[in-house]
Structure formats: structure tokens, C-alpha cells
Amino acid sequence: MDLTFLKPLYRRSGPYASVYVDLTRTTEDAPKAAELRWRALRADLEEQGAPHGTLGAVEEAVLAELRERRSTGLVLFAADGEVVHAERLPGPPAAALARVAPLPHVLPYLAARGEPLPYVRVLVDRRGGEICCVTADGKRRVFEVEGDEEYPIRKTKAGDWNQSRFQRAAEMVWKANAKKVGREVDQAAKRCGAEAVVVAGDVQARGAVLEEISEGLRDRTVETDRGSRADGADGAGLDAEIARILEIRRTERVGAVAERFERELANGQRAVAGLPSTVQALRRGQVESLLLEDDPDSPARLWVGPEPGDVALTAEELLEAGVKDPVEERADAALIRAAACSDGELFIMPSDDPYAGLGVGAVLRYTIAA
């Protein structure tokens, strides 16, 4: 998971208010119930000593969401009197939470958000295609690719005295149009860094387009019989299929980094396991991929300072390094900040993964010897 988008969040001095609020409205008294849930979280923030300005900014954002009824779940991170990051969740949060701490508590948010993968959706017919590029930050660009050839677009009926010639001509038209779509798909995938390409629509046109997609992209391309370019076609089935394909890609990415971690750890080279070694690697800026178990109740704690690299097992380590007034924080919050601000990736290990039990580990960019 690319953590670059979190960098602006860590530019504040803190303390941070982290709020996960359930705004579900499925019953007759739902609006009142949602407001009461927020009031309970607000009381928690007050009890924890949230600064007045920060508390007011969070309340304003939550009440606006309640009035507009736009979501079932909301996560907010606020500091220095303003909401620094807010995002609607696809459903209620796994657990309601209100926390005031030196760093934002982002792990539950990242686990619920998942890894947004850029992809390209292609709807084709014999005349051309529609290409939709979706970037990792959710931005969409849709454009039409109209074929250069239009006649003859259909084969003639059996028995026509000129049947063979027209059939061959029709197939040549389809292939010419498909070739143009295929070239555009390659360019679109490069522009958005697509992790997956999903091709739907007319079965024969799909096959022709797949033949034109470059070899390097073909491994990331999936053909599906859901979806159509026809007017009024229902896109729900295709959307569900794309979501399934992207989830498979996410699982594959986690599996690949876990295999690499195992290999590098066995070789005693570019991987470390356990909290002490991972903290040391983060302080040196070595971490390329941080592997972290999703454990909301983890008791692990670290000491942090104002800078992302100010992270240690003890307060004494930071004091010796010249950091004034170190504070104790959740280990996952400290590790994610350090990884995000040193351009490291995060991989949250599922509970059934064989490496989930290690707690934390990392694949390194380089060894100290190198």
C-alpha cells in the first residue's frame, strides 16, 4: 500500500484526535441513534483532553455529515484546530473509536480502506470501444475509441452469393477496429500504472482486442462476459467483477511480498523481523516494505519525537540522540508514520497469513554493508 497520501497528515505538531464514527441509518430512529453515538465519542475526546479547537473542528465535520446523510461510516484525523484528513468508509467502522494521542491512529482506517489499485476497464464492440482509466486515488477518465472502419460491420446471411468475400471483409474491419482499441488500452494502462485491465463486451471483439494488447500487459489483463457497450446496459455486474479481480490482485501482491520477505530473511540479507530490528531499519531509512499485523488490541509501544525518524524502543535512546521530550505511542502508529515519511510501502498481513504472528517485519531497500 502506497502511503504517500498520508504525508500531509504528519506535518502537524499534535496531539491528534482520531475518530471512527458509525453513521448508519437503517431504522426509523436512526438519525437520533447516529447522533447519540457521536455524542458518546465526543465525550471520550473531552475526557482525553482534546484541545478545544480540534474538538470543535471534528464536531463541525461530523454534524455536517449527519445533516447531509452521505455515508454510513466516517473517519477523521484532526490536529491544531482543524480536520487534516477525512474519508467516508464503505460501511460502518469495525469499531467506533475516539482517541487523543501524539500520532493519528491510522491502522484501522488503512485496513478498512484496503489498497486502491489503478485499473483500466474496456468495453468493446465491433465498432470500437470505451476505455475507463481509474487511478489509485480514484480519479476516472473515460474516453471513446471509434474504429476507422465501419463497412461491412456485419457478416452476410448464409446463402448470399458474395458471402465469403463479405465475411472476410467484416472480419478485417473488426480486427482493424480492435487493433486501434488495443493500442489505446496499452497507452491508457501506462498512463495510470494499471495493476489490472478488464476487457468486457462483444465476445469476438474482446478476442480481437486481447490479441492486440502488448505482451507485458497481457499478464494483467482479464476477459469477462459481464458488461456491454450497448445503451442502457446494467453495469452492476461488471463493477462487482472488477471488485473481485482487484481483490485477487491485492491478495497476490501481499503473497508476493511475503514470499520475498521469507526468501530475504532466510538469506540473512534484505529483511528483518521483530520490533527492535524493524525500528532500527526505519531509523536508517532502509525500509522498502513494512509488514504489519492488524491487531487493534496490540500492547506494543514505542517512544517518538517530533520527526518521523524519531522512533525508539526506549525514551533514553531518543534523549541520547538529542530528541527533547519523547512521548510513548502505539507501535503501529509510530511505525506507519516512519514508513510513510520515508516512502515505504505498507502491507497489512491478514490474520490467517502465516506471517501475521510475527507482529512486524520489513523488506529492506539495501543492507548496511551495501
Domains of the chain: 4-113 (3.30.960), 119-233 (3.30.420.60), 251-364 (3.30.1330.30)
Sign of the C-alpha dihedral, residues 81, 82, 84, 85?
positive
Rg (CA), the chain: 26
φ, ψ of residue 239 to 5 degrees: the values are -60, -40
φ, ψ of residue 260 to 5 degrees: the values are -65, -40
Q: How far apart are the first and last CA of the chain?
A: 26
157, 159, 175, 204 from 163: Cα distances, Å: 7, 7, 18, 19
Set of cell numbers at residue 115? 489498497
What is the structure's pLDDT at 103? 96
φ, ψ of residue 312 to 5 degrees: the values are -155, 165
Which amino acid would we find at residue 120? V
d(C-alpha 110, C-alpha 106), whole Å: 6
What is the structure's pLDDT at 8? 94
CB 290 within 8 A of CB 3: no
Cis amide linkage into residue 326, ω under 30° from 0: no
Q: Hey, which residues does 73 pair with through a beta bridge? A: 22, 89
pLDDT tens-digit profile, the chain (370 residues):
889 999 999 999 889 999 999 888 766 666 788 889 999 999 999 999 999 999 999 999 999 988 877 778 899 999 999 999 999 888 889 899 999 999 999 999 998 888 888 999 998 887 888 899 998 888 889 888 876 655 454 544 544 545 555 455 566 666 777 778 888 888 888 888 888 999 988 887 888 888 888 888 888 899 888 876 665 566 788 888 899 999 898 888 888 998 999 999 998 889 999 999 999 999 999 999 999 988 888 899 999 999 999 999 999 999 999 999 999 999 999 999 999 999 999 999 876 555 555 679 999 998 866 4
224, 234, 242, 244, 277 from 238: Cα distances, Å: 8, 8, 6, 10, 45
Q: Kind of pairing, strands 196-201 and 301-304?
A: unpaired
Dihedral class, residue 253 (left if φ above 0, else alpha if ψ from -120 to 50, else beta) = alpha
- Give the 3-state secondary structure percentages of the chain, helix then strand then coil, rounded to 5: 40, 25, 35
d(C-alpha 53, C-alpha 169), whole Å: 72
d(C-alpha 224, C-alpha 206), whole Å: 9
- Residue 178 Cα to chain centre, angstroms: 31
What is the structure's pLDDT at 25? 72
CB 262 within 8 A of CB 273: no
Set of cell numbers at residue 280? 532500527
- The pTM of this model reads 0.81
Set of cell numbers at residue 219? 499478464
Set of cell numbers at residue 282? 526505519
- Residue 169 Cα to chain centre, angstroms: 45
